[in-house]
């Protein structure tokens, strides 16, 4: 379980196909405090640490299944060496819940369709898959590339997010481009409310 509050910007150091895809991710986390089998959200995808090391810099390895690739932006723009990733370690008992409850189980992929500067901030419009759009509401929460964000407005399958300068600086959102595909996880509460309405 995660909060959608990014705590490090990682970097893809190696990618190798070994049955499943295996990736090595560079991090500023102290790997001595990361257990093998721990979960780390990498661009919003909950991945299991299978190896770790500190030479020449701190890193951890993950395996990524074909199922995960098919449901995430890895299927649209495969991770390549040098790619930056939003990282968050799993929530621990007693941690501050600064964002919203995020599972790290990506629901689908959204596309950046519009970008407009607004003062120092950046207003970005995303296009969600039709089957997920019903779970996105104005002033509700979504997780995009592992970042907990508040929805400003919704128009059909399109929804807008305002990125303040701080968010752009401490995450990978400072490098977002038109046409990019991002991992989308809808708010769990919205999913349960929609399911209850189906039964009422």
> Tokens 């990736």 identify what position?
23
Answer whether 183's CB lies under 8 Å from 144's CB: yes
pLDDT at 167 over 70: yes
The reply to whether domains 8-89 and 108-199 share a CATH topology is yes
pLDDT, tens digit, 9 for 90 and up, residues 53-108: 999 999 999 999 999 999 999 887 778 999 999 999 997 665 666 667 788 889 99
Which residue's entry shows tokens 């400003």? 152
CATH class of domain segment(s) 8-89:
mainly beta
Q: Is the pLDDT of residue 190 over 70?
A: no
Residues in CB range of 75: below 8 A, 6 or more apart: 69, 109
Listed in sequence order, the DSSP H helices in 101-164 are: 130-133
Structure tokens at 199: 């039964």
CATH code of 108-199, in short, is 2.40.30.20
Domain limits of the chain? Answer: 8-89, 108-199
Distance, in Å, from the CA atom of 145 to the CA atom of 167, rounded to the nearest integer, reads 12
Rounded distance between C-alpha atoms, residue 125 and residue 128, angstroms: 10
Is the pLDDT at 15 greater than 70, yes or no? yes
Residue of 94, 99, 84 lying closest to 142 (CA atoms) = 99
Q: pLDDT (tens digit, 9 = 90+) per residue, 28-43?
A: 999 999 999 999 999 9
């Amino acid at each position: 379980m995660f909060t959608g509050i990014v705590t490090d910007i990682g970097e893809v150091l190696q990618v190798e196909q070994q049955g499943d895809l295996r990736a090595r991710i560079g991090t500023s986390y102290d790997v001595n405090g990361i257990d093998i089998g721990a979960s780390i959200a990498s661009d919003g995808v909950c991945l299991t640490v299978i190896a770790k090391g500190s030479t020449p810099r701190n890193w951890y390895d993950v395996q990524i299944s074909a199922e995960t690739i098919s449901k995430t932006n890895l299927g649209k723009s495969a991770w390549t060496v040098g790619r930056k990733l939003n990282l968050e370690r799993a929530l621990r008992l007693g941690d501050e819940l600064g964002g919203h409850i995020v599972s790290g189980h990506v629901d689908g992929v959204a596309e950046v369709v519009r970008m407009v500067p607004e003062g120092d901030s950046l207003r970005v419009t995303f296009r969600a898959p039709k089957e997920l759009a019903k779970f996105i509401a104005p002033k509700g929460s979504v997780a995009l590339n592992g970042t907990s964000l508040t929805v400003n407005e919704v128009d059909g399958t399109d929804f807008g997010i305002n990125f303040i300068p701080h968010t752009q600086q401490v995450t990978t959102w400072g490098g977002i481009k038109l046409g990019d595909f991002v991992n989308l996880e809808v708010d769990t509460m919205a999913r349960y409310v929609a399911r209850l309405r189906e039964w009422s």
